[in-house]
Amino acid sequence: MYKFNLIGGFLLVVLCCAVLPGKLVEREVAVAGELVPVEVVKLNCNASAAFRFMHFRFHGQQHSLKIDLESCQRLQVGQTTMLQHLDTHPGVFLFPDSYSPAESFSWGALFLLGGYAIINSVLYFRKRPA
């Protein structure tokens, strides 16, 4: 059981270390980002939620953003819409009010859980008689 906890803890910590920096950038854009106009170039509304994207043009460069079904049905190709953006993070765009602080807290909680599993397992293996 403790081997499973150790492996699972490492996996959680590695996963969180990969995802959390991106979530912190999203938080920064959501808090300090300005609304910028972007032109919708292409919509992919027929796919499942994992593959539903809006492709748009901003300052002559094309970007993409994962969107929900409601936004996909509301937007049209050629339409201009407003997204939050910071110049310090050129590839990050967010819909206004789409950032959820609870998501970042959840990733932080998973990181702490993984750290606890690692520490608990290591202490168990150190105390266990040989």
Domain with 52, as residue range(s), is 2-127
Instruction: Extract the tokens encoding 100.
Output: 């959820």
Model confidence over 85-129: pLDDT tens digits? 999 999 999 998 888 888 888 988 999 999 999 999 999 888 876
SS3 88: coil
Q: Produce one character per residue of 72-110: b if its CB has 16 or more CB atoms within 10 Å, e if not.
A: beebeeeeebebbbbeeeeebbbbeeebeeeebeebeeb
State the Cα torsion 65-69-75-77 to the nearest 10°.
Answer: 70
State how many domains the chain has.
1
Evaluate if pTM is beyond 0.85: no
**Amino acid identity, residue 10?**
F
